[in-house]
């Protein structure tokens, strides 16, 4: 008896740029699975209907990208702990009458840092720039790795304060010093890992911060992928190691693949193949 092809999708708006179909098809090929994975452009006010249509079409699961991660959280009937804490969902699992919401962004970032870039977070001093969905989605996973300090900063500093208040209980439970600084005003400080989780690189805007923050011992990570950003160039000029967010993208997809198929795919060759495109 031939097995029925399992269907998956990534939902976003815009969606044409998404690498998720390529990544999931590559994982499936490597593991001998015959899947159908498509990119779905949802009208901005139709996310819920789009998901329900996919459920009637018997999809097994869907990835969710901008700007629907918060709506996906609202729509899910059950949440993983990472999704509950981030209040955002990037992976949906459709299971009988349940819609299970997961958030694999933080796991993806931490795996890229620790496994691909060999940068372990335990006892390190980390600066996270940005207070949007991407920043909020990764904080708990960073805290779980028990850095000595996690400092938050953002152009609109009040948003960092809101996140600090929300996450402080988790920081305390992992014994991490969670604080907020205004990077535009603060004097030079030392960080081991500096993560750009803003969307400034999309328009190649420079972040207003002292370049002295970068040094030979730091890793400057930009969640943006697909190009060398001004942020990465600035860090490189100060001797810092740099990385874009392509590895995070592939690792978060790998965790979604594991949720749906219970198989951990190899990520290295997929990252390398996308990097040469």
Compare residues 50 and 201 and give the one whose CB is closer to ligand NDP: 201
Compare residues 60 and 67 and give the one whose CB is closer to ligand NDP: 67
CA distance 24 to 38: 10
Compare residues 16 and 55 and give the one whose CB is closer to ligand NDP: 16
Q: What H or E segment, with its residue span, contains residue 55? A: helix 47-56
CA distance 69 to 206: 26
CA distance 25 to 267: 12
Which of these, 31, 74, 17, lies nearest to 260 by C-alpha position? 31
CA distance 160 to 151: 9
Q: Which residue is nearest to ligand NDP (CB)?
A: 132
Grouping H, G, I as helix, E, B as strand and the rest as coil, residue 219 is strand
Dihedral of the CA atoms 52, 55, 60, 62 (nearest 10)? -20
Compare residues 42 and 97 and give the one whose CB is closer to ligand NDP: 42
C-beta of 108: minimal distance to ligand NDP in Å?
6
C-beta of 206: minimal distance to ligand NDP in Å?
8
Which tokens go with 270? 């997929």
C-beta of 218: minimal distance to ligand NDP in Å?
19
Q: What H or E segment, with its residue span, contains residue 14? A: none
Compare residues 61 and 133 and give the one whose CB is closer to ligand NDP: 133
Confirm whether 69 is a catalytic residue: yes
C-beta of 253: minimal distance to ligand NDP in Å?
8
- Positions touching ligand NDP (CB under 6 A) are 66, 105, 108, 130-135, 154-156, 159, 197-202, 205, 207, 223-225, 245, 248-249, 252
Overall size of the chain counted in residues:
277
C-beta of 88: minimal distance to ligand NDP in Å?
9
Name the catalytic one among 48, 58, 69, 238. 69
Which of these, 13, 16, 62, lies nearest to 36 by C-alpha position? 62
**Residues with catalytic annotation?**
69
């Amino acid at each position: 008896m031939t097995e029925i092809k399992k269907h998956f999708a990534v939902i976003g708006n815009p969606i044409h740029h998404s690498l998720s179909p390529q990544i999931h098809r590559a994982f499936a090929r490597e593991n001998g699975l015959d899947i159908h994975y498509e990119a779905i452009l949802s009208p901005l006010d139709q996310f819920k209907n789009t998901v329900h249509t996919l459920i009637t079409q018997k999809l097994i699961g869907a990835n969710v990208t901008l700007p629907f991660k918060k709506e996906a959280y609202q729509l899910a009937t059950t949440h993983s702990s990472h999704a509950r804490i981030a209040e955002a969902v990037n992976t949906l699992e459709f299971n009988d009458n349940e819609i299970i919401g997961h958030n694999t962004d933080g796991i993806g970032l931490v795996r890229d840092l620790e496994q691909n870039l060999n940068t372990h977070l335990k006892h390190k001093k980390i600066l996270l720039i940005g207070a949007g969905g991407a920043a909020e989605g990764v904080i708990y996973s960073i805290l779980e790795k028990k850095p000595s300090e996690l400092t938050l900063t953002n152009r609109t500093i009040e948003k960092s304060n809101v996140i600090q208040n929300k996450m402080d209980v988790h920081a305390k439970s992992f014994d991490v010093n969670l604080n907020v600084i205004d990077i535009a005003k603060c004097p030079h400080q030392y960080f081991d890992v500096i993560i750009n989780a803003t969307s400034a690189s999309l328009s190649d805007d420079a972040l207003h911060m002292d370049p002295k923050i970068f040094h030979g011992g730091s890793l400057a990570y930009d969640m943006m992928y697909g190009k060398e950003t001004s942020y990465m160039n600035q860090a490189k000029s100060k001797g810092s190691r740099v990385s874009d967010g392509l590895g995070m993208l592939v690792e978060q997809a790998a965790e979604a693949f594991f949720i749906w198929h219970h198989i951990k795919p190899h990520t290295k060759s997929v990252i390398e193949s996308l990097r040469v495109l």
